[in-house]
Amino acid sequence: MTLPTDTKVTTEILWQGALIFAFIDVIFVAVLARLIKPARLREMKWTLVAVMAVFFCGLFGILASYIFWKSVYHYVFPEWSRWLIPPAYGLLFAAIGLLFWWVAFRIPGNAVINFCILGGLWGMITHIWAIYRGILDKPPMLQGASPEAAVVLPIFEFIFYWGISLSLASVIRRGWEWLCGSMKARP
């Protein structure tokens, strides 16, 4: 799948995306914080790490290596890396997720909210790095977009992704516990 060559991402689109994600995040993270208690988040540690590895490998496999490779990513990454980026990002994001899971319990506040906010900050850091690599200068699709908007949007975008990861990990963990419980109940 490729995008039309005249597709243009503007500063206005980035700011609108940031506002939409921010609105969704406020509700989504508040719900997650009510549903996933700190003790539950502690229990989900390795499930969460595994989910993040698979989720981000898949996300970057679809976005970076399939949909946006020709229009964006091939301008800043060598061709040989196209299919290595998804598993590398999956492992990297899983490791960062584990680190932030640990940090989320050691800073004041709700661990679920902390975890999601740390994920948003990671999004900001990765996009600063991408801007440094030329993501706003080289691809015609992104030329002229504001660096500020390109750094703010991923904060809220990644809070959303980390919320999805938490949700999936919680559902998988509950499903596993249900399955194990039903297996023990059999005669």
Confirm whether 31 is domain-assigned: no
How many structural domains comprise the chain? 1
9 lies in some domain: no
CA distance 160 to 147: 21
Query: Domain residues for 140?
Result: 44-177
Amino acid at the residue 100: F
The confidence score (pLDDT) of residue 72 equals: 87
pLDDT digits (tens, 9 = 90+) for 146-169: 999 999 999 999 999 999 999 999
pLDDT, tens digit, 9 for 90 and up, residues 56-114: 999 988 877 888 888 888 888 899 998 899 999 999 999 999 999 999 999 999 999 99
Where b means 16+ CB within 10 Å and e means fewer, 149-171 reads bbbbbbbbbbbbbbbbbbbbbbe
**38 domain-assigned:** no
| 22 in any annotated domain | no
Rg for the chain (alpha carbons), in Å? 18
How large a percentage of the chain has pLDDT more than 90? 78
pTM, rounded to two decimals: 0.91
Q: Which helix (H) or strand (E) holds 22?
A: helix 11-35
Q: Tell me what pLDDT residue 6 has.
A: 72
Backbone angles phi and psi of 11, in degrees to 5: -60, -40
Does residue 28 lie within any of the structural domains?
no
**Three-state SS sequence of 23-58:** HHHHHHHHHHHHHCCHHHHHHCHHHHHHHHHHHHHH
Does residue 26 belong to any structural domain of this protein? Answer: no
Report DSSP state, residue 63: I
Residue 6 lies in a domain: no
The amino acid at residue 167 is S
Q: Could you tell me if residue 167 is inside a domain?
A: yes
- Average pLDDT value over all residues in the chain: 92
pLDDT confidence tier of residue 180, bands split at 50, 70 and 90? confident
